Chain A
Amino acid sequence: MGKTTYLGEFEELILTMVLILDDNAYGNSIVKAILEHQQRDVNLSAVHITLYRLEEKGYLESSMGGATNERGGRKKRYFRITNAGKALLQEMKDARLNLWKIAPQLNFSA
């Protein structure tokens, strides 16, 4: 990866959620997880679009499976994070920490 890729805030959130949900990451479960952990009601369509975009970029991979009755017998598309995705998340986390290190120490008690 010669070029550095940047992710948007929402993309990073989704990518992280897929990492967290591990084997159970699909459209609806991600929406619910975001609501649960961040108290943020995101739209299903936004999630889907972002998932496909991330898949296209190579940070996610998907597989079909797990048809249930509630879905009218339709299969789910499960997403898993790829190694590239994990590496990117790691890199982004490190970069942020580095930035925090050089930030002036704020004295909250003053």
Chain B
Amino acid sequence: MTIPRPPRLFQRFFEWYCKDTLQETILGDLEEQFFEDLDSYGSWKAKRRFAWNVIRFFRPGIIRSIKKTQKFNTMDMFKNYVKVASRNLVRNRLYATIKISGLAIGIAACLLITLFVIEELNHDNYYPKADQIHRLINRYDDPVNSGKWTAHPPMVASMMEELFPEIEKAGRLIPYDWYFAGKNQVRRIDRIQNSYEEGFVYADQSLLEILSVPMVYGSIDNALSEPNSIVITRRKAEKYFPGEDPVGKTLILDEVEDRPWTIGGVIENFPTNSHLQPFNFFLTLAGEEFWEGEQTSWCCSNYNVYLMLQPRVDPGVLANKMKTLMTDYYVPYLEKRGDQDAENVAMYQGYELQAISDLYLKSGDIGDIIKTSDIKIVWLFGSIAIFVLLLAAINFINLSTAKSANRAKEVGLRKVVGSFRLHLIQQFLTESIIITFISVLLGIILAWGTLSLFNQIAGKSLVMPWLAWWFVPGLTALTLLVGLLSGLYPAIYLSAYSPLEVIRGRLSQGSKSSRLRGAMVVFQFTTSIILIVASIVVYRQMDFILNKELGYEKDHVLMIQGANTLGDKLESFQNELMNIPEVVSVSVSNYLPVSGTKRDQNAFWKDGRSKLDKGVGAQIWRVDKNYLETMGMKIVEGRDLDPSLVSDSSSMLINQKMAKDLGLDDPIGKKIQNWETWTVVGVVEDFHFNTIRYGIRPLAMVVGRFGDVVPIKIKTDEMQKTLASINEIWDEFMPHQPIRYNFMDDVYESMYADVARTGNVFTAFSILAIVVACMGLFGLSAFMVEQRSKEISIRKVLGASLNQIVNLLTTNFLWLILISLTIAIPIGWYLMMLWLEDFTYRIEMGWVTYLIAGAIVIIISFATVSFESIKAALINPASSLRSE
């Protein structure tokens, strides 16, 4: 039988809390009592009394004081760490500079991109009831075709509100160029001078209520409820009615004086993270009917619909329920019209609800005019920033471990006088956190200084959020994180030195981890090369886009905008312009092959087959007699339209693609129909009128005489003079409306602003990456040279040439670069293939790209490495051997 012992757990507990000086006697007393109790009461009670006694001893006077044990020397050691760290920084200025500036660059990049990502992720989430606001999306999904779009027939909004109790409110918006929506000349009714304004939309009164827009003047309950009322934003109110309350005042749009617009209210400017930010003028839809019967017809889908759901309604369930609206009303309409699509619509078309906060980043697959971004861009930016930070952290790790030999004696000595490994790790982590802290400060300054540049590249208007609640804690967390991340490996590595080895001088100088350092250098350069490849590919694609044969000539074409106000004076204006000797031709149209101009999609059939075949969707453009000449488009068959022929009012020019899609082998003279019948008189060569991401689609041209835009083909490079003459003529005709024009090639280029922006981002970051990587490489090569200075001197004494020495010192590094190239090329190739897949017309990714990228990297890195090598090779051998 074993003798019972005092309960172990309580004994442990006692030993843990009791002062060392008291422990022995008290524990002795406790145990003595335990054995006495054991004799008189038995084991169970003795144990209980022991436990109870231990608990009773847990009181002041017995418990070891926290202060006394911690008093140790932590604070003093910490001060010592800081002192040693700062001495080290000062002693190794070069390496400290490389570490700190590299990290600062990485942190600045990270910071800027964090600002960007925060703004992107916080789009359209600020409305008071944002989680209840949804946008109504059409979804079509048959086995072959699929698509999503936002435009609905006019009555859908009010019907939804009536049919489904889950919907609290529905509101419509027309954000396209449509009647007065889009851009207009604007003036107060009591002024004559017009100003050009963009950002006109049609909206329902209920839309203001759904979005709970804050009002500056007027009431949100009736700002748009009267016909012909208009709501403007604060910035426009300040422009047209400085210092007054404009409610009830009147604006004239585009000189249409018989239809004045009365201001019903002034709203606060939409913030930059709202998709409605570009819009400044909200025209009411109350009482609006764009043509007879428009408001009650299912024919035409022109309205975006916003829905405010009741709280806690599941949008997915509701969207499925909404399908009944389509089957009960829209499908019968199509059937009645004898439309081929009725069956497909009934089967494959439905509704979806998109949360308003998803509108900005998750509309990639939705056909929509609203300016949106893509979650992919956020990922791209974010991952690049993290990579740059990683590259900088690698510099830190590499230089710390490389220079470790210099710290080895310190480590050894510290261990001899009693440092534990943990203390040394603490010391090195403190050092790295100090360095990171300096870098973060510098990084913030750097980010602040480059913010405007970054805004330009990213197309944003970000500001430094000095006062945001997360700013200081976030940066502190970043400092600790980066400090730990980059300091941990060196700390573990450095603290592992055995004091004996170090003091005997057995330590080979920093060579132990050279393989790992090599791997990290390879990682840095692989990343840099991929970024360089990406920038080259994007730039080549952009160049390809800008110089592609488009089927029309975009250069030297001036487009006078807002010419619709000329009215009947148009023709004499055109004739005046033709008198300028540099002007080749003058046209007029709303339809031009660049973005920002009108589009009109129709379904066409061969004559008489509209009930039998599937329609061919085609643009129908109204153009005047000089259009083809001004645009430089070519007729490949037949003849141009001739407005002077009465019969040509029903004649049509089609493009090659349309002829093909309609199956017309010999199109001249054939008849085709949409709601009227047309005779094909000519075929125009295919030209790109959408972005060249997509292929060329069918297009038809018919005779038109009026339009917003007057394109002018000019033959000279002496633009200034010609512009002056054009301006003069305009002022004669339209003294109250300033001329507004742009160049077609500029507009074309702006269609690809996103591509240019991607290119800029890649370039900026590949420059950063290569700079950071080269800084690290420079540090490592300087270190290598320092280590081998005696060897170099002896070699020189023995007759080695400059060349041989430089070769000796650079080969190692060049090998690393070559390895990086072989890794980076396939990865870069794969990634850029994915990117290029978005373009129907794209460049071939030839070997030239890689040759350029490789050459750039090899030249830059060779220059970096050889700088120190040549310096070492030129030094007088005596100076480094003397000390021996």
Please report which residues of chain A, range 1-44, place their CB below 8 angstroms from some CB of chain B when the two chains form the complex: 26-28, 31, 43-44
Asked if A74 contacts B62 (CB within 8 A), the reply is no
Asked if A74 contacts B57 (CB within 8 A), the reply is no
Separation of A28 and B30 alpha carbons in the complex (Å): 8
Asked if A43 contacts B56 (CB within 8 A), the reply is yes
Please report which residues of chain A, range 30-64, place their CB below 8 angstroms from some CB of chain B when the two chains form the complex: 31, 43-46, 48-49, 52-53, 64
**Given contact pairs A71-B32, A74-B25, A44 touches B53 in the complex (Cβ within 8 A):** yes
Asked if B53 contacts A43 (CB within 8 A), the reply is yes
Asked if B53 contacts A74 (CB within 8 A), the reply is no
Asked if A27 contacts B61 (CB within 8 A), the reply is no
Asked if A71 contacts B31 (CB within 8 A), the reply is yes
Could you give, for residues 24-54 of chain B, a 1 whenever the CB lies within 8 Å of some chain A CB and a 0 otherwise? 1111111111011000000000000000010
Rounded to whole Å, the gap between the CB of B6 and the closest CB of chain A is 9
Closest to A53 in B: B61
**Given contact pairs A26-B25, A77-B25, A44 touches B61 in the complex (Cβ within 8 A):** no
Rounded to whole Å, the gap between the CB of A81 and the closest CB of chain B is 18
Could you give, for residues 736-771 of chain B, a 1 whenever the CB lies within 8 Å of some chain A CB and a 0 otherwise? 000000000000000000000000000000000000
**Which residues of A have CB within 8 Å of B26?**
27, 48
Separation of A65 and B59 alpha carbons in the complex (Å): 26
Separation of A12 and B25 alpha carbons in the complex (Å): 22
Closest to B53 in A: A44
Interface extent on A, as a size class?
Answer: 20 to 34
**Which residues of A have CB within 8 Å of B35?**
70
The answer, yes or no, to whether A76 is at the interface (CB within 8 Å) is: yes
**Given contact pairs A45-B62, A49-B61, A76 touches B28 in the complex (Cβ within 8 A):** yes
**Which residues of A have CB within 8 Å of B24?**
64, 74-75
Rounded to whole Å, the gap between the CB of B33 and the closest CB of chain A is 6
Asked if B25 contacts A75 (CB within 8 A), the reply is yes
Separation of A34 and B62 alpha carbons in the complex (Å): 22
Asked if B29 contacts A44 (CB within 8 A), the reply is yes
Separation of A68 and B33 alpha carbons in the complex (Å): 13
Asked if B53 contacts A27 (CB within 8 A), the reply is no
Asked if B59 contacts A28 (CB within 8 A), the reply is no
**Which residues of A have CB within 8 Å of B31?**
70-72, 74
**Which residues of A have CB within 8 Å of B28?**
67, 71-72, 74-76
A interface: dominant SS: helix
**Which residues of B have CB within 8 Å of A48?**
22, 26, 29, 57, 62
Asked if A76 contacts B59 (CB within 8 A), the reply is no
Separation of A44 and B392 alpha carbons in the complex (Å): 63
Asked if A28 contacts B25 (CB within 8 A), the reply is no
B interface: dominant SS: helix
**Which residues of A have CB within 8 Å of B36?**
28, 70
Closest to A51 in B: B25
Closest to B11 in A: A72
Rounded to whole Å, the gap between the CB of B18 and the closest CB of chain A is 10
Rounded to whole Å, the gap between the CB of B193 and the closest CB of chain A is 95
Asked if B62 contacts A44 (CB within 8 A), the reply is no
Asked if B25 contacts A45 (CB within 8 A), the reply is no
Q: For B27, B29, B33, which residue has the most chain A Cβ atoms within 10 angstroms?
A: B29
Asked if A76 contacts B25 (CB within 8 A), the reply is yes
Separation of A76 and B33 alpha carbons in the complex (Å): 13
Rounded to whole Å, the gap between the CB of A40 and the closest CB of chain B is 16
Rounded to whole Å, the gap between the CB of B527 and the closest CB of chain A is 64
Please report which residues of chain B, range 772-827, place their CB below 8 angstroms from some CB of chain A when the two chains form the complex: none
Asked if B30 contacts A44 (CB within 8 A), the reply is yes
Could you give, for residues 156-168 of chain B, a 1 whenever the CB lies within 8 Å of some chain A CB and a 0 otherwise? 0000000000000
**Which residues of A have CB within 8 Å of B59?**
45, 49
**Which residues of B have CB within 8 Å of A76?**
25, 28-29
**Given contact pairs A27-B25, A48-B57, A70 touches B62 in the complex (Cβ within 8 A):** no
Separation of A56 and B268 alpha carbons in the complex (Å): 76
- Of B22, B33, B61, which one neighbours A28 at CB under 8 angstroms? B33
Rounded to whole Å, the gap between the CB of A21 and the closest CB of chain B is 14
Separation of A43 and B61 alpha carbons in the complex (Å): 15
Q: For B22, B25, B53, B62, which residue has the most chain A Cβ atoms within 10 angstroms?
A: B25
Rounded to whole Å, the gap between the CB of B322 and the closest CB of chain A is 76
**Which residues of A have CB within 8 Å of B30?**
44
**Which residues of B have CB within 8 Å of A67?**
28
Separation of A31 and B36 alpha carbons in the complex (Å): 13
- Of B22, B32, B53, B61, which one neighbours A70 at CB under 8 angstroms? B32
**Which residues of B have CB within 8 Å of A74?**
24-25, 27-28, 31
Could you give, for residues 12-29 of chain B, a 1 whenever the CB lies within 8 Å of some chain A CB and a 0 otherwise? 000000000010111111
Separation of A32 and B31 alpha carbons in the complex (Å): 15
Separation of A53 and B32 alpha carbons in the complex (Å): 23
**Which residues of B have CB within 8 Å of A26?**
25, 29
Separation of A49 and B29 alpha carbons in the complex (Å): 13
Asked if A27 contacts B62 (CB within 8 A), the reply is no
**Given contact pairs A49-B59, A49-B62, A28 touches B29 in the complex (Cβ within 8 A):** yes
**Which residues of A have CB within 8 Å of B62?**
45, 48-49
Separation of A9 and B437 alpha carbons in the complex (Å): 61
Rounded to whole Å, the gap between the CB of A104 and the closest CB of chain B is 42
**Which residues of A have CB within 8 Å of B53?**
43-45
Rounded to whole Å, the gap between the CB of A71 and the closest CB of chain B is 4
Closest to B25 in A: A77
Asked if A64 contacts B32 (CB within 8 A), the reply is no
**Which residues of B have CB within 8 Å of A52?**
22, 61
**Which residues of B have CB within 8 Å of A31?**
33
Closest to A66 in B: B28
Rounded to whole Å, the gap between the CB of A35 and the closest CB of chain B is 11
**Given contact pairs A52-B61, A75-B24, A27 touches B56 in the complex (Cβ within 8 A):** no
Rounded to whole Å, the gap between the CB of A29 and the closest CB of chain B is 9
Separation of A52 and B25 alpha carbons in the complex (Å): 12
Rounded to whole Å, the gap between the CB of A1 and the closest CB of chain B is 24
Separation of A57 and B56 alpha carbons in the complex (Å): 23
**Given contact pairs A64-B25, A76-B25, A45 touches B32 in the complex (Cβ within 8 A):** no
Closest to B33 in A: A28
Asked if B27 contacts A45 (CB within 8 A), the reply is no
Separation of A20 and B741 alpha carbons in the complex (Å): 115
Separation of A80 and B32 alpha carbons in the complex (Å): 21
Asked if A28 contacts B56 (CB within 8 A), the reply is no
**Which residues of A have CB within 8 Å of B61?**
49, 52-53
Closest to A78 in B: B25
Separation of A105 and B228 alpha carbons in the complex (Å): 113
Rounded to whole Å, the gap between the CB of B17 and the closest CB of chain A is 12
Closest to B26 in A: A48
**Which residues of A have CB within 8 Å of B22?**
48, 52
Separation of A99 and B56 alpha carbons in the complex (Å): 37
Separation of A68 and B25 alpha carbons in the complex (Å): 12
Separation of A25 and B56 alpha carbons in the complex (Å): 21
Separation of A97 and B28 alpha carbons in the complex (Å): 40
Separation of A74 and B31 alpha carbons in the complex (Å): 9
**Which residues of B have CB within 8 Å of A43?**
53, 56
Closest to B35 in A: A70
Separation of A49 and B62 alpha carbons in the complex (Å): 8
Closest to A49 in B: B61
Separation of A53 and B59 alpha carbons in the complex (Å): 14
**Which residues of B have CB within 8 Å of A71?**
28-29, 31-32
Closest to B29 in A: A27
Rounded to whole Å, the gap between the CB of B25 and the closest CB of chain A is 4
**Which residues of A have CB within 8 Å of B29?**
26-28, 44, 48, 71, 76
11 other contacts beyond A44-B56, A48-B22, with CB at 8 A cut-off? Answer: A27-B25, A28-B32, A28-B36, A43-B53, A44-B29, A45-B59, A48-B57, A49-B61, A70-B31, A72-B28, A74-B24
Q: Which residues of A contact B (CB under 8 A)?
A: 26-28, 31, 43-46, 48-49, 52-53, 64, 67-68, 70-72, 74-77
Q: Which 10 A-B pairs have the closest CB atoms?
A: A74-B28, A71-B28, A77-B25, A27-B29, A45-B56, A45-B57, A28-B29, A71-B32, A70-B35, A72-B31
Q: List 5 A-B contacts (CB under 8 A).
A: A44-B53, A45-B59, A68-B32, A74-B27, A74-B31
Q: Which residues of B contact A (CB under 8 A)?
A: 22, 24-33, 35-36, 53, 56-57, 59, 61-62
